[in-house]
Structure 1
């Protein structure tokens, strides 16, 4: 699941195209991806933060750019983010942090009537062992539920474990799970954790609701990729603190402890 909460910091919908990196033009809003038919015009939505000067690399306000702290890590598992179209526009979305740290991460835009062809091809590729990350709270898919040990078992057979995260609000993620028949055959891996969210930028319904990057870090930790998990955790904390300071128009005077650890990794 994604950040599992709604956010006011949304870019102007008429100014963006939803693509792999989330930003570039506006054609995706003009036509329905399934039929190609023109969509009715959207009224421009000017949200809080839409006029902030942002770094083109990390998309954070230039006041506290995150780029100096970006560090590459390796993991035995991969992430595929199935992202709701509206989530691409949110600068507070943490899903992109996963791709900054793990270069093998892939992002696919979810449309109910037009599944991404590349994602379908990935799901049919026998090299991968995909798991969809979703709670085990409903009985109708109980037979598909597995635990974290299944990830290691898949790796032992020579397949690449893949965590599929539904990147959207909680309501959107529920709909994506229910309205995506091409996911119906996948094992469901619920994330059980005692960790509480450290995310400052969106208001959670519960402290136990982790944002996308926190979910990914915990999955890495539980599946044995502890170094990648720690790196992503530090990068998330750097993002969290940088963005929170920028909202108050405050420049961080010195790196935080998490930032210092990332800088030390970059220097090696």
Structure 2
């Protein structure tokens, strides 16, 4: 920083004092410019905003393969999909939109040691909350690796990904019956049955535990603990006037669910957020 005539006009400082103050200010400027805050390379956040210390990874019998939309992968530094990847030891992420010709996806599908499903609602899906889960236990007893593909993106993007990915669309579907609505209050869901990727995985594992397919001893609850911390962080950002995400005039940092107006496209009965089963 350089002192100008404006700063020294009318000043009674002698030359030595002036030069000392100038040097101190220049040094302070250089220190602030070169200061680097600790950075977490796992979640791509500053350490002071990092949620990684809260994550407690655990094993599952089934393998979760998260098909992440590029927009979700690049813009969400620590979205629900990434939290799941960090928490589930037996998980993997593949980025893309149309996976029909994706070599990695097709290798998993074509491997005779695997039995692949798409976690997606459908009239003919195997519902782990209500249907007979004996086929899943039989596959595990036969040492088959159950691969569960999940689509991670906004609901419109997820529907497009499902429609374009013929290989994923043709797999048998697996689902559950949710008994609660999403706790992701700062984000609007197109329907009450719509859950985030993290909430879907959490509830699915809970149901698999209840039906005897998995045995994680409630380790999956850590997903929700980290999720709540993420929501709190986002709310704090929305209430901080020094951040670009500041929501002026909002006492909560987000609008109340009852005050929101759903997009007209999801209110049309002829349009569903879910892609129907292939006939």
Same fold (TM over 0.5): yes
Cα distance, 1:162 vs. partner? 2.1
Residue from 211, 234, 238 that aligns with 1:243 = 234
Q: TM-score, normalised by structure 1?
A: 0.63
Partner of 2:86: 100
Partner of 1:261: none
Higher relative contact order (CA 8 A, sep 6+): 1
Change in CA separation of 1:205 and 1:70 when aligned onto 2, cut-off 3 Å = same
* Ranges in structure 2 where 5+ consecutive residues have no aligned partner: 1-37, 210-215, 242-279
Cα distance, 1:61 vs. partner? 5.6
Q: TM-score, normalised by structure 2?
A: 0.61
Q: State the Cα deviation string for residues 112-140 of structure 1 (Å, max 9, x = none).
A: 37632112111112222221011215xxx
* Ranges in structure 1 where 5+ consecutive residues have no aligned partner: 1-52, 251-268
- Return the alpha-carbon distance in structure 1 between the equivalents of residues 107 and 99 of structure 2: 17
Change in CA separation of 1:63 and 1:189 when aligned onto 2, cut-off 3 Å = same
Q: What count of residue pairs does the alignment treat as equivalent?
A: 192
Partner of 1:126: 112
Residue from 106, 127, 150 that aligns with 1:147 = 127
Question: 3-state DSSP class of the match of 2:218?
Answer: helix
1:179 aligns with 2:161: no
Partner of 1:193: 178
Question: 3-state DSSP class of the match of 1:135?
Answer: coil
Cα distance, 1:107 vs. partner? 0.8
- Return the alpha-carbon distance in structure 2 between the equivalents of residues 111 and 208 of structure 1: 24
Cα distance, 1:239 vs. partner? 2.2
Question: 3-state DSSP class of the match of 1:227?
Answer: coil
Partner of 1:229: 220
CA RMSD of aligned residues (A): 2.5
Cα distance, 1:155 vs. partner? 1.7
Q: State the Cα deviation string for residues 9-49 of structure 1 (Å, max 9, x = none).
A: xxxxxxxxxxxxxxxxxxxxxxxxxxxxxxxxxxxxxxxxx
Cα distance, 1:186 vs. partner? 1.4
TM superposition outliers: structure 1 runs of 4+ over 6 Å: none
Cα distance, 1:55 vs. partner? 4.2
Change in CA separation of 1:174 and 1:90 when aligned onto 2, cut-off 3 Å = same
Superposition pairs of residues 1-268 of structure 1, within 5 angstroms: 55-60=40-45, 62-91=47-76, 93-112=79-98, 115-136=101-122, 142=124, 145-148=125-128, 149=133, 150-224=135-209, 225-249=216-240
Cα distance, 1:226 vs. partner? 4.6
- Return the alpha-carbon distance in structure 2 between the equivalents of residues 202 and 223 of structure 1: 27
Change in CA separation of 1:179 and 1:222 when aligned onto 2, cut-off 3 Å = same
